[in-house]
A and B are shown apart, each in its own frame.
Chain A
Amino acid sequence: MGRKILLVEDDRTTADFILKGLAEHGHVGDHCDNGRDGLFMATDGGYDAIVLDRMLPGMDGLSLLGALRAAGIETPVILLSALGSVDDRVTGLTAGSDDYLVKPFAFAELLARLELVMRRRGSGTAVETALACGPLHMDLLRREVRRGGRAVDLQPREFRLLEYLLRHAGQVVTRTMLLEGVWDYHFDPGTNVIDVHISRLRRKIDGTGEPPLIHTVRGAGYRLGE
């Protein structure tokens, strides 16, 4: 299902790269290259999500975001920025953005995060007590996991990792998203720490002879699905 996404980005190359990627994944991307038009379009365009560059001519991204939120428009926003320090990130998130992505980035990362913020807004606040994906069932109250008839014994962190994957079943989740979502850290671990956690989890979930549920997505991250 295609979504309508507004891209506010003054760099032509980056914009084309994103628009092309969005089109390939069946989304409709509207583009504008300055802050003022961006605010205008964001205010009455009825978009599902906005990808907003932080440094823009006319009106910078943070001001645009501030104006948008002040006007009561809660469209999910992902900030793009070349400012990659931890503090820049916190500033961006406290200004009202739903996510913050540092340039340069892989399109897969942007897409995964876009789908995440759009789903987060769409899903409402219903409390879930159980999650499932194919033969995999997670009981959040009893903290139990079963694959088919087999009980899967998980460590607390493995449980949270699987819970995150289940909540985003079918979507690509990147290593940074996992570090943020499961461990609540945003730094760059430099090594393949997350990969090792995933491979441990995978050994427990995907038993020998069972069709794999945890898939590695080349150049992006992982996806839970049949």
Chain B
Amino acid sequence: MSKETTGPGGGWTRRLRSSHIRFIGLILLLELLFGGALLLSITQLVRADLDAADSAIATEARDTLLAIARDEGDASLMSAVTARVSDDADGVVLLVDRAGKRIAGNLAAWPPNVTIGARWTKAMLYRIGDSAPAPFGIAAARLPDGRRLLVGERTDESDQIRQTVEGALLTALLLALPLAIVGAWLAVHIIDRRIARIAATAAGVGAGDIGRRVPLDGSGDSFDMLARAINAMLDRIGELLAELRTVTDSIAHDLRSPLTRMRARIDRAMETDDPAALRAAIDGISREADALLAMLASALEISRMEAGIGRDRLVPTDLAAMLADIGELYEPLVEEQGRGLILAVVAPVNAPVHRELLGQALSNLIDNALKYGAGQVTLSLRAEGGMALIGVADEGAGIPQTREAEALRRFGRLDSARGIAGAGLGLSLVAAVARMHGGRLRFIRRGDGFIVEMLIAPAG
């Protein structure tokens, strides 16, 4: 039993871990942060703006009274103060003497929180004759003779505006919350649908529908990129499967004939009592078995190479020395058949190679030249266009051009070769070795013979 399904809290924690919830949560959080920042900055701006207006009104009124006191004298100031009390219903004005005693105005006493020098003060004031305190924006000043003057204007209206703005913004934010949830859910849903399409394809392929591919919308976005990558991977898997099928079919087909031969030999051996015949039969069976094993080993080696296994075992090698080694190994065999082996190294080349597999490939090529070719066998090494070229040539007619593809096919054997022992894997193994070394195989026909050439890429 898995851990997630046990305990009452298990389901919840799992759901919280789900990317849906996290995604929606993230969008909500961002929306809240953004809305909060917006609310804060707008209210700050509005407040500053309203305060500036209120402060301008109060300071202007104070400065007017100060100017009257300075320019027109005390009597004018007194009448202006009185006029302000009677004319401006929303205003406040107070003139006190040096001891703080009221001289004129509609306030009973100097409010303790209003100081001279401050540019502007906000305060709740209780005017004479009012039934309730009200908010005022106040500017104060000291006259040259020591008296103090306080002038103000009600700010109810600005407060009202501010509250309205704040309320509207908060409402907008609250309204945006469900919208954000819906938006987040929609986003998750869109992502979900596209992922689900990819998952459905993967599941389909997993269930055996190998031909299925993720539909592309051509937008080139990240989902499209993912879909392309997955399709490319599925194509490769498809190719490998097709190849595997060919190989297993061919193996099954090609195993049948030697196995049948072996079976027949065993049957015959079981009927005979002659020890010599028995011995010969067992020898024959043993040879068939060896051939089968060699064939299987080659088929596996090719498949491994095609799958890219062994590329990490390439070692820088002196190809001329290696060719000399292989030539020396085969020379007695070639000479025993009354033919000659020539080593023609045009340019010494060093290249990273898989020594064993390249050795096997060369061995296969020489073997082919001995079995199917004629005349001298020439091992050549040269460099051309940045590639190392290893050639095995003989003086025979070689593979006809029209039959090249057939000869390269795994288990492919030309009719002319049917009578000679072999599994038909020789050339395809050579081709696989060349491909593994970043190169390829090519055939050259000349008047005096046939060359199979392996192109090997140098380092890099």
Interface residues of chain A, those whose CB is within 8 Å of chain B, are: 84-87, 90, 102, 104, 157, 183, 185-193, 196-197, 200, 219
Contact = CB atoms under 8 A, between A and B. Distances in A.
B451 to A, nearest CB: 21
A196 B332 contact: yes
Nearest to B298: A188
A118 B290 CA distance: 28
Nearest to B371: A191
A188 B309 contact: no
A202 B286 CA distance: 26
B324 to A, nearest CB: 11
Interface stretch (B238-246, B254-262, B356-364, B378-386): B356-364
| Interface secondary structure of A, over-half rule | loop
A36 B286 CA distance: 36
Contacts of B310: 85-87
| Interface secondary structure of B, over-half rule | helix
Contacts of A104: 293
A86 B298 CA distance: 11
B198 to A, nearest CB: 35
Contacts of B328: 157
B294 interface: yes
B313 A90 contact: yes
A192 B333 CA distance: 8
Given A90-B313, A185-B359, A193 B297 contact: no
Contacts of A200: 332
Given A85-B309, A86-B301, A188-B294, 6 more contacts: A87-B309, A190-B294, A190-B364, A191-B367, A196-B332, A197-B332
Interface string B185-199: 000000000000000
Contacts, number: 59
B406 interface: no
Interface residues of B, number: 27
Interface string B284-313: 001000000110010011001000011001
Which residue among B313, B357, B359 has the maximum number of chain A CB atoms within 10 Å of its CB? B359
A149 B358 CA distance: 43
A183 B357 CA distance: 14
A104 B297 CA distance: 12
Contacts of A157: 328
A188 B297 contact: yes
Contacts of A190: 294, 363-364, 367
A187 B356 contact: yes
A191 B356 contact: no
B48 interface: no
Contacts of A191: 333, 367, 370
A85 B329 contact: no
28 contacts: A84-B300, A85-B310, A86-B313, A87-B304, A87-B310, A102-B297, A104-B293, A183-B329, A185-B329, A185-B355, A187-B356, A187-B359, A187-B360, A187-B363, A188-B294, A188-B297, A188-B360, A189-B329, A190-B363, A190-B367, A191-B367, A193-B329, A193-B330, A193-B332, A193-B333, A196-B333, A196-B336, A197-B329
B281 to A, nearest CB: 14
